[in-house]
Amino acid sequence: MIIGRLATDEGFRRRFLDDPAAVLDELRGQGCELSPVEVRALTALDHAAITAFAEALDRRLQKVDFNSHPNEGGN
C-alpha cells in the first residue's frame, strides 16, 4: 500500500522524500501496522528510484499535488 502510494500520490511522495521517518510515524499513528524491519526497509528506499518509477507511470494514474504546482496562468 505504501509503495503504491509513493508511486501514485505526488504529495505523499514529496512528504516521504523530505522526511521518511515522520511520514511512517504518521501512518503508524493512523493504524498502519509496520514492523521495525518494514520501517527500516521503507526508510532505506532509494529516492531516485522512487521518483523514476513514479515518473514512468501513466499520468492518469497519478494524484497531483496542487500545492506544489501553483497556478501560473493567474486564473
In order along its 75 residues, the chain shows pLDDT tens digits of 999 999 999 999 999 999 999 999 999 999 999 999 999 999 999 999 999 999 999 888 888 777 765 564 444
Buried b / exposed e along 42-65 (16+ C-beta atoms within 10 A): beeeeeeebeeebeeeeeeeeeee
Residue 10, beta-bridge partner list: none
Give 40-58 pLDDT, tens digit per residue.
Answer: 999 999 999 999 999 999 8
What is the per-residue pLDDT for 64?
76
What is the per-residue pLDDT for 49?
97
Question: What is the model's pTM?
Answer: 0.80
Alpha-carbon torsion, ordered 52, 33, 29, 15, to 10 deg? 0
